[in-house]
Structure 1
Amino acid sequence: MTTVLCMAITGSTPPGRKHVLAMTSIRYDDASVREVPVRDLRLADFTWSMPWRSFRSVQGQTHYSGRYASATTAGPVVYESRLELARLLLADMDPAVRGIYAQPCRLTARVGGRVRQHVPDFLLAMASGTVRVVNVKPADRLADPKIVEALAWPGELIERHGWEYEVWSGVDRTVLENVRFLAAYRRPDVVPAAVIERAWRSVQDGDRLAEAERRLAAGRPDHEARPPVLALLWSGRLTTDLSRPLSGDWVLRRSA
């Protein structure tokens, strides 16, 4: 979902006021901050970057924050709500996503005659070579015109730069539960690589999960053959309809 709202984002200012260029502020792991005009922004600018905001969990806080061990980044990615964690899980499982940056920067621009600032939730580096900036917001809050306006001007700025912009509000509950379950198989040390490759050679396009397990088990209990198949589903080498609850009837498709 992309929020669209036309508004003036300019680099010009009324007489007597300081000129404000649309800028990106990026924080790095050496504690330095680099200012980059949005028009000059490149994905490489985020190498060795850190989340713009720092936070810690404290007793009694109203939001749910933490660090997620991402397979895509081979390291922790921060999130500030359960909804952000859900979007993070989907990005981590998506083979089209090659990089994930949480709270990647602070955007500053003059919008409607005043200076505005915004910190996006995620920046995704896509395998296609493009970049997608993601803001996560509950669907019920998108009924608030102030929220819509606050999310719209960063989108206009990002899309004008030639990158993608997404406002994400959730996904089907069954899909999310399945992705959460499959995430247990995201780390390479959970199932040995040789076992995964043996499963890959065994599973045929159109197999149901139960028959693929039975063939792979070769006389052992069928459930013992399930982990490598689930690891293949997490990696995207196998796909299935995740809108259906996990069962032996899942139809498996081999990716091209």
Structure 2
Amino acid sequence: MSVSIESSGCGKATDVGQSVKPGSASAATRSSLDGSVRSTPWDQVESCRLASVSPWRNFRWRNGQRHYSGTYWSSTGCTHIIYESRLELARLLFADFDLDVNHIVAQPFLLSAEVDDRPRKHIPDYMLFGSGLPTVVDVKPQSRLAKAQFTFGWTRELVEQRGWRYQVWTEPTDTELANVRFLAGFRRYQLFDPQLLEQVRAADLDGVAFAEACRSFPDFSVPLVRSALLHLFWTQYFTVDLARPLQSSAVLRKRNCV
């Protein structure tokens, strides 16, 4: 049986705006081949080229640092993606879980522009590519949004001039984050028996409780079946309400049958 998981909103977005001097904006990118830097006028930047750049910043780990940095293996692109805080890691989890996202780039460019007669610079956290418009994402805790509104304002103005989406992402609910973080532990398709996955997909599990489904395949151990079902939750073959804690009593629903 397939469980389809529905997210009720990956964080919150804020809408702010500022004026930018026409023609002053540019984007610097770092080559994924040799690390070389290229600067391009903003109105000539193409999203397809940004999809293949390296992160703008390098980061280090040191004892006592205030930021929580690391790399996350994304099932979306089968590659590692960097993050510089726990909240950025949360955004990566939700992006990796989103069926509309098929590519994720961290720190895609250094954006420069003249705003209020002063040079300004900003590095967005992520750029998401998929079935819709490219989306430039900045991640910021709710408590720090006010201080960043000016920067986010002129960044939004420039991003939307290119016809892309801009999102400021803050904390999701505790339950949503706990559910997605738990399911992410089952994201690596290489770890699951293809024969078991095929049998689970072929079975008529729509409307069956999760605990009962785990006992429905006598040729496989219950832990193996449980893991396979949770992997299919992650891939959203089955749907489930992320706003409610995942429980063994949850009823499995195929994504197209809800």
Q: TM-score, length-normalised on structure 2?
A: 0.88
Q: Give the letter for the 1:58 counterpart.
A: R
Q: Tell me how many residue pairs correspond in the alignment.
A: 244
Runs of 5+ unmatched residues, structure 1 = 12-19
The 3-state SS of whatever aligns with 1:125 is strand
Corresponding residue to 1:49 among 26, 47, 53: 53
2: distance between equivalents of 1:123 and 1:226?
A: 34
Counterpart position of 2:117: 113
Q: Distance in 2 between matches of 1:197 and 1:236?
A: 15
Residue 86 (1) aligns with residue 90 (2) = yes
What residue in structure 2 maps to residue 17 of structure 1? none
- 1:236 maps to which residue? 236
Query: Is 1:59 aligned to residue 63 of structure 2?
Result: yes
CA distance in 2, matches of 1:163, 1:63: 29
Moved more, 107-116 or 64-73: 107-116
Q: Decide whether the 8 Å contact of 1:103 with 1:119 is kept in 2.
A: yes
The answer for the alignment partner of 1:189 in structure 2 is 190
> After superposition, where does 1:119-198 map in structure 2 within 5 Å?
119-128=123-132, 130-142=133-145, 144=146, 146-198=147-199
Q: Work out which structure has the larger RCO, using CA pairs closer than 8 Å and 6 or more positions apart in sequence.
A: 2
Which residue matches 1:25? 28
> Equivalents in 2 of 1:220, 1:69: separation in Å?
28
Instruction: Provide the aligned C-alpha RMSD in A.
Output: 1.7
Q: CA deviation at 1:221?
A: 5.5
- Bigger Cα displacement from structure 2, 95-104 vs 152-161: 152-161
1:225 aligns with 2:225: yes
Structure 2: distance between partners of 1:110 and 1:33: 21
Which 4+ residue blocks in structure 1 deviate beyond 4 angstroms?
Answer: none
Stretches of structure 2 lacking an aligned partner (at least 5 in a row): 1-11
Equivalent residue for 1:245?
A: 245
Q: CA deviation at 1:110?
A: 1.5
- For normalisation by structure 1, the TM-score amounts to 0.89
Q: 1:219 to 1:48 in 2, by over 3 A?
A: closer
Residue 98 of structure 1 aligns to a residue whose secondary structure is strand
Tell me which residue corresponds to 1:7. 18
| 1:20-61 per-position Cα deviation (integer Å, ceiling 9, x unaligned) | 531111101211112222222222212431100001111110
